[in-house]
A and B are shown apart, each in its own frame.
Chain A
Amino acid sequence: MSQAKVPAWVNVALIPVLNILLAFLVSGLVILAIGENPIEAAGYLIYGAFGYDEGMGYTLYYATNLIFTGLAVSVAFKGGLFNIGGEGQAYIGGLGVGLICLSLDHTMPFYVIAPLAVIGAAVFGAAWGYIPAYLQARRGSHIVITTIMFNFIASSLMVYLIVNWLKQDGRMAPNSRTFEENAWLPYLHEVFSPLGIEIGDSPLNLSFIWALLCCVFVWGLVWHTRWGYQLRTLGTNPTAARYAGIDTAKVTIWAMLISGGLAGFVGLNEIMGVNHNLLLNFTAGYGFAGIAVALMGRNNPIGIILAAILFGALYQGGAELAFEIPTITPEIVVVIQGLVILFSGALEHMFKDRIEGFFIRRAVA
């Protein structure tokens, strides 16, 4: 049977771009329906996200969190596991970062605290992924259910810990004391200014660089190591994995440990990079948005970076848009985000057959 080839750029670029355009088209109709000018709204959104240094900085700051959680979802997904628990793993990862910073910031310099905080984030996040992984691998409990449960447990645990143990004495606010400055991740605008590069002030910090390094790490791990080979075998054909003698339980557990660790790095950005104290609800849904990012990025590190930047832009540009046009409330911005997820995630294959068919016919003719 002959098999005509569809050019690679069709799947990688054309179809996602078409899907996004369609999402924006429908969003435009929504904005039209509430009586605003969609072109003007799009202008504010794009300018707010990319138009000036600070906006760009915010976009990339949001994207940092989404890269971590997107990678987390994709590593698990490559092994056939649907990790819905990125939110909880990120939360507990932040706890790890916070505990390291709170206990060492009076005694240790930054270059000691930073690597320990990275390890803390990874270990705590991984630990939160381990329990559902163990239950899935050895006891057959479905990982989707257990990871969702663990999000709730993480949330309650953090409230308990912060309110009862980590809150400052005599204060009402449910957060820890602010870390000393030697436990702060440097902002990128601070890093760049001694080099003579001036960029606007924004929360964008060193964890963005770490996120990019994690992308390289995931790419190498999944596509170029034998562990990655086993992971992908398990994810695409579990029967073949058993046939090949792969220890599926072990691979499952390791996949979730790595996934949880990656999600835990959200804590680096939020706790050590921006808030500089341990607080409630800093994960703000990044764990869930990571699912959409991974889906849209097709579980590929480059795709995840692009999708994370797109979502980061929607967060940042959307906030700007809601500020500039008050009738477009933050809820409408959420609708636009939802439409992007709908068209590029759930309806991903809507045009696929037709477009591929077109290119196949053209190739044959």
Chain B
Amino acid sequence: MPYAIELRDISKRFGAVQANKDICLQVPAGTIHGIIGENGAGKSTLMSIIYGFYEADTGHIEVDGKRVDIRSSQDAINAGIGMVHQHFMLVENFSVLENVILGAEGGAVLKNGIGAARVELQRLAHEYSLDIDVDAIVEELPVGLQQRVEILKALYRGARILILDEPTGVLTPQEADHLFRILKALKEQGVTVLLITHKLREIMASTDNVSVMRQGEMVAHRETVNTSKEDLAELMVGKKVRLTVDKDEAQPSDVLLSAKNLSQFDSQGVKRLKDVSLELRAGEILGIAGVSGNGQSELLSVLSGITPMDEGEIHFAGQVINAKAPKNAAQMRDLKMAHVPEDRHKMGLVTGFEAYEAAVLGYHNSPVYNGKILMNRKAMLDECNDRMAAWDVRPPNPHLKTANFSGGNQQKIVIAREVEQNPEVLLIGQPTRGVDIGAIENIHEQIVKLRDSGKAILLVSVELDEIMALSDRIIVMFDGAVVGELDAKDANERTLGLMMANAFNEEEGVSA
């Protein structure tokens, strides 16, 4: 039996970067095949080649044993390949039906096309148990259902091979499990699924086979039943890695920061942060769990002084900060609060700056970096050199543009900048997002070390594993509010997942 899709010696080079090198892959029809690798391993490039966004320099693709020439996404669709992108490609204010027929309207007048599509969609929804209200407006649907629309879109175009790129990034664990049930149903109907992810748990839970990519090459193929998380992690990184964090019992002492009933409205007047109260103690890591977009970013932004709160107050370093007496980010820094933002590209760094310039962002007014009139370049460079050595930033070149460092090294530059100021409170968002597994271990160790030196740390992460591994106490946020708090010892994936979906009380009948 021919493979549903087979890649033969695919290579792709961008300038000096060999993104894919002699990739071979065979995916039997009707299976779920995982592709796993670190950021920058070449997974996305490979999928873009299959879906026709890029053309391979060498090599070719076979679908059902026949060689196909894919030069555009239309060619891919014609070959029966569908793709669900990490960031949905939906028109938010269109209905489900309108989104599904977009690009396949079937003529200049919509009426006929819509009628036919409605019938077809109902058939598909029934066949694959993908129930959805086809007249609902997409932006009013929860993300899990929006993703379902993407899947329907692909199936409507006749996809027999479905590629999903990091599909669970925006889902709760329960929604993710539901997605995997859908994928199993698709598989039973003979659809072949390619699942791109960096989450080992998902690979283990849902795939039949798994291929591992590292630095542009396909380094291993495994049957999922014959492998393990540790095995896959080692293949991804190329060396043994530890997936847990060693830390002693926390010794929390004084409350360093307390927030009372913080609320914040966005520019449209929507309340994004709802009466959030919390206390940060010295020598403790407080984890904020929640699905991305449930107020965590706003919380960091208000605590760090980037946006003023509209209601509530913060007690910190002997000061009372409220809407009448706000403090901006520079003033909060002066009170010894450091902040590693969630998005280092958008916020934590200026990617056009050389590393030594980005390494003083936020502290650029400090007398250490300034002479009377001009900035003291030598002091900045010396310090940057020292820190790059101490934090093992590679390459250790303070003149390299920040954009040209890898994600992990960029993050080290940011964390070093904030931690070396010896703050009392560290706010840290998504500390290891887009960071290589090898560097994660190091970053986690640094966070625990800071805790053990008696500082207070607020950790925001959408990775539950990370929250559970690092935190001493966990707060769960949903829709801008705190919906639960628990000791890290009592936390498990299921409890947290239910709280993140705000379904804990209903299902368990227990007050959180």
Contact = CB atoms under 8 A, between A and B. Distances in A.
A356 B306 CA distance: 39
A224 B377 contact: yes
A1 B15 contact: no
B55 to A, nearest CB: 16
A285 interface: no
A329 B28 CA distance: 72
Interface stretch (B200-208, B268-276, B360-368, B381-389): B360-368
Contact of B375 (A226, A242, A247): A226
Contacts of B370: 226
Contact of B362 (A232, A237, A239, A244): A244
Contacts of A364: 16
A239 B361 CA distance: 12
Contact of B374 (A224, A244, A245, A361): A224
Interface residues of B, number: 36
B20 to A, nearest CB: 13
Nearest to B374: A224
Interface string B328-343: 1111110000010100
Contact of A240 (B16, B332, B347): B347
Contact of A220 (B304, B333, B374, B406): B374
A249 to B, nearest CB: 11
Given A3-B16, A360-B15, A363-B16, A225 B364 contact: no
Contacts of B351: 236-237
A236 B345 CA distance: 11
A316 interface: no
A357 B15 contact: yes
A46 to B, nearest CB: 37
B346 A239 contact: yes
B329 A243 contact: yes
A245 B347 contact: no
A225 B372 CA distance: 10
A253 B346 CA distance: 23
Interface in A246-262: 246-247
B404 interface: yes
A230 interface: yes
Contacts of A50: none
B346 A237 contact: yes
Contact of A239 (B328, B347, B369, B404): B347
B108 interface: no
B341 A1 contact: no
A319 to B, nearest CB: 40
A1 B330 contact: no
Contacts of A19: none
A225 B373 CA distance: 7
Contacts of A2: 16-17
Contacts of A232: 350, 353
A243 B16 contact: no
B27 interface: no
A220 B361 CA distance: 19
Interface in B358-417: 361-362, 364-365, 369-370, 373-375, 377, 404, 406
B334 to A, nearest CB: 9
Contacts of B81: none
B364 A229 contact: yes
Contacts of A245: 305, 328-333, 362
A236 B331 CA distance: 23
B357 interface: yes
B348 interface: yes
B349 interface: yes
A4 interface: yes
A225 B16 contact: no
A233 interface: yes
B423 to A, nearest CB: 14
Interface residues of A, number: 28
B352 interface: yes
Contacts of B365: 226
Q: Which of A225, A226, A245, A363 has the most CB of B within 10 A?
A: A245
Contacts of A4: 15-16
Given A3-B404, A236-B352, A243-B362, A225 B332 contact: no
Given A224-B377, A237-B350, A243 B341 contact: yes
B401 to A, nearest CB: 9
A245 B357 CA distance: 16
B418 to A, nearest CB: 11
B40 interface: yes
Contacts of A225: 373-375
B341 to A, nearest CB: 6
Given A225-B374, A242-B306, A243-B329, A230 B364 contact: yes
Interface string A180-208: 00000000000000000000000000000
A1 B17 contact: yes
A239 B346 CA distance: 6
A363 B17 CA distance: 12
Contacts of A243: 304, 306, 329, 339, 341, 347-348, 361-362
B196 to A, nearest CB: 19
Given A225-B373, A230-B364, A240 B15 contact: no
Contacts of B404: 3
Given A4-B15, A4-B16, A229-B364, A240 B350 contact: yes
A224 B332 CA distance: 26
23 contacts: A1-B17, A1-B40, A1-B406, A2-B16, A4-B16, A224-B375, A225-B373, A225-B374, A225-B375, A226-B364, A226-B370, A233-B361, A237-B349, A237-B350, A243-B341, A243-B347, A244-B329, A244-B362, A244-B364, A245-B330, A245-B332, A245-B362, A361-B15
Given A1-B40, A226-B364, A245-B305, 12 more contacts: A1-B406, A2-B17, A4-B15, A220-B374, A224-B377, A237-B350, A240-B347, A240-B348, A243-B341, A244-B364, A245-B331, A246-B330
Closest A-B pairs by Cβ, 7 of them? A245-B330, A245-B329, A4-B16, A244-B362, A224-B374, A243-B347, A360-B15
